[in-house]
Amino acid sequence: MKKTAFICDESYFWHDTGNGALFSLPGGYVQSDGHAESPETKRRFKNLLERSGLYEKLHKIKPYAATEDQLEYFHTKDYIQKVKELSRIGHGDAGELALVGKGSYDIAQLSVGGAITAVEAVVKGECDNAYALTRPPGHHAEANLGMGFCLFNNVVIAAHYALKELGLERVMILDWDVHHGNGTESAFYHDPNVLFISIHQEGLFPAGRGESNHIGEENGKGTTVNIPLPAGTGDAGYMYALEKIVKPIADDFNPQLIIISAGQDASIFDPLGRMMVSAEGYRKMTKFMMQLAESNCGGKLVAVHEGGYSTAYVPFCSHAIVEELSGITTDVEDPFIQAFNGVPYDQLSDHQKERIDAIKSIHIKQENY
C-alpha cells in the first residue's frame, strides 16, 4: 500500500463562476443554469471518497497559499494585480472565459499552494504520491492572461517550485485533460529542464494549439510533445499513446518528479469533450504512470486536478485514480459503464493507431530520441 497524500480545502468549492449556461453569462436568450466549471464535479468527488471510506485512509495535508513571489515564477505582476482587483470588485473576466468572483484571488492563491504542497510532500518523502483536488484549475492560464476557467497555472508554478526551491533539475508534466494545456506549454516551450507532454482531443480548445509539430524551440526543442488524438479515442488509444510515445521519451528524459495535469474530461460522459475514456481507463493510465515514476524517480508522482465537467461521472473516474495511487481498493464500481456495452471504447481502431504512430515518428526523428 502506498502512502498517498490528499490535498484539498473547502475554499476551493467557493470560487464563484456565476450562474451562466456552459460558459456564457445569463441574459438575452441564455437562461440561467450552471457554469460548466462549477464546484459540483469536485465536491461530489470528495463526497464519494468519504462515502467509500477511502478518504479516511489517505494522508491529508492542508494546503497553504502561494506567495505573490511564487505566482511571479510564471505570471506577470500586472496580471496578478488584475486578478486581485477583479476579485475585490467581485466579478469580471481575467482574460478569455476565466471568470473571477468575490474572493477568487485568495482561493486561486490557495489552489496554486495546493499543487506546491503536494509537490513538496512527495519530493521531501512525506508521502509516496499525492492527489491535489484544487480549484480553480490552471493549465490554460498564460503568463498574462486567464483562459478556459483557469486563473493561475497551478502545475507550472509547482514545477518551478520544484526546480527553484527543492533543487530538482528535471521535471516531467503529463497533461491528459481533453483540452490542450496551452499555458503549461508556453511556460516551458524553451526549457530543456521540463518535459511537457499533452494528450488531448485534436482541434479542440484552444484553437490552433497543441499540434503534433509543436515540439519546443531552442534549448527546449524536443521537450514539448503534443499528442492530439481523434474524437472517439478511448481507453485502448490512450494506453497505446502512453506505451508507444510517452514511455520511451520519459525514460530518455529520466525525470526526478512526474506531475499529472489530471483533467477527467476525456471521459465518455463529458459534455465538453468527445472522447471515450472510462473510469477503468483512468485507473489503467494511473497505474502506467506510477510504473513510469517508479522506474525513473523512485515513484515520485503528483496528480493535480484540472477539468472534468460530468458531475455524475468525474467522481468515479477520479476515485479510480486515487484508489490506484494508494493501492487501496473499495467496493465502488462504475455504475454507468453498462450504457456503453458494444461501444468500442476499449478497442484500438486503425485510424487511432495510424495517428499515434505518425506522432511517434515526429519525435523519433529528434536528435535526443
Rounded distance, CA 101 to CA 17, Å?
6
Asked if residues 123 and 42 have their Cβ atoms less than 8 Å apart, the reply is no
Q: Counting beta carbons within 10 angstroms of the beta carbon of residue 346, is it exposed (0 to 12), middle (13 to 18) or buried (19 or more)?
A: middle
Amino acid at 198: S
Rounded distance, CA 297 to CA 354, Å?
31
Secondary structure of 99-146 as H, E, C letters: ECCCCHHHHHHHHHHHHHHHHHHHHCCCCCEEEECCCCCCCCCECCEE
Q: Does residue 140 carry a catalytic annotation?
A: yes
Query: 15, 35, 139, 140: which one is catalytic?
Result: 140
Side-chain-facing half-sphere of 330: CA atoms under 13 Å: 23
Hunting for cell 484549475 — which residue is that? 137
How does strand 146-147 pair with strand 194-201? unpaired
For the annotated catalytic residues, the residue numbers are 140
